[in-house]
A and B are shown apart, each in its own frame.
Chain A
Amino acid sequence: GAVVSQHPSRVICKSGTSVKIECRSLDFQATTMFWYRQFPKKSLMLMATSNEGSKATYEQGVEKDKFLINHASLTLSTLTVTSAHPEDSSFYICSARGNQGFREQFFGPGTRLTVL
């Protein structure tokens, strides 16, 4: 199946710093990528939908200035958590959908963010 990678897999940062998370589709072109957030023992919450070459669409309640998303190419989307605070600590997961019309999303392995 298609492979999606995320980098870094784990990051610890100080409060107030910004953290960038990369999501890459390794063997297919992803016209659409999705960013999710998952709290411990909870389900995934969709944060935003990212389309290559256009602005991301954010879900209700997600601050676009806080979570900056860039989808500059068909294989790369980035999520930047700006001025991170402890409450931003979470597991961030991206997924990618190809451009061949099938509905399946391929998920990355996730990034564990801990803000001190």
Chain B
Amino acid sequence: SQQGEEDPQALSIQEGENATMNCSYKTSINNLQWYRQNSGRGLVHLILIRSNEREKHSGRLRVTLDTSKKSSSLLITASRAADTASYFCATDDGNNRLAFGKGNQVVVIP
């Protein structure tokens, strides 16, 4: 069963704005990962945050994790048209089997 579930809303923003996506899950995790997928393509790993971490940064990406609320957020700052993609969170329960959420479609308008 899927553990990671993003809010199902698609997001459309202007270039330069920030994009925030949320993810909730239901069971215990070892880590949570965010991936990006361009239409019809494979997944690109963006960032991994461990269960004992609360925040992590990578370039224009900022991920938070609240294990008490079983939720995570992905923030993309200063968005670019090239950021247009679907973004998925995935939880790893420690057995390295990833449970993916539904994905969030982000459209950045130039």
Contacts and interface: CB of A to CB of B under 8 A. Distances in A.
Interface of A: 1, 4, 6, 32, 34, 36, 42-46, 49, 91, 93, 95, 97, 103-110, 112
Contacts of B98: 34, 44, 46, 95, 105
Contacts of A112: 40
Interface stretch (B14-22, B42-50, B54-62, B71-79): B42-50
Interface in B53-110: 88, 90, 92, 96-103
Contacts of A95: 43, 98
Nearest to B94: A103
A43 B43 CA distance: 11
Nearest to A59: B97
Contacts, number: 57
A106 B45 CA distance: 7
Contact of A109 (B30, B41, B90, B100): B41
Given A43-B101, A46-B98, A110-B41, A103 B2 contact: no
A103 B42 contact: no
A110 B97 CA distance: 18
B88 A107 contact: no
A42 B90 CA distance: 14
Contact of A104 (B33, B88, B97, B101): B33
Interface string B1-15: 010000000000000
B33 A44 contact: no
Given A34-B98, A43-B102, A46-B98, A104 B45 contact: yes
A110 B100 contact: no
Contact of B43 (A32, A93, A97): A93
A103 B92 CA distance: 9
B31 A103 contact: yes
A107 B42 contact: yes
A103 B45 contact: no
A97 to B, nearest CB: 6
Contacts of B88: 43-44
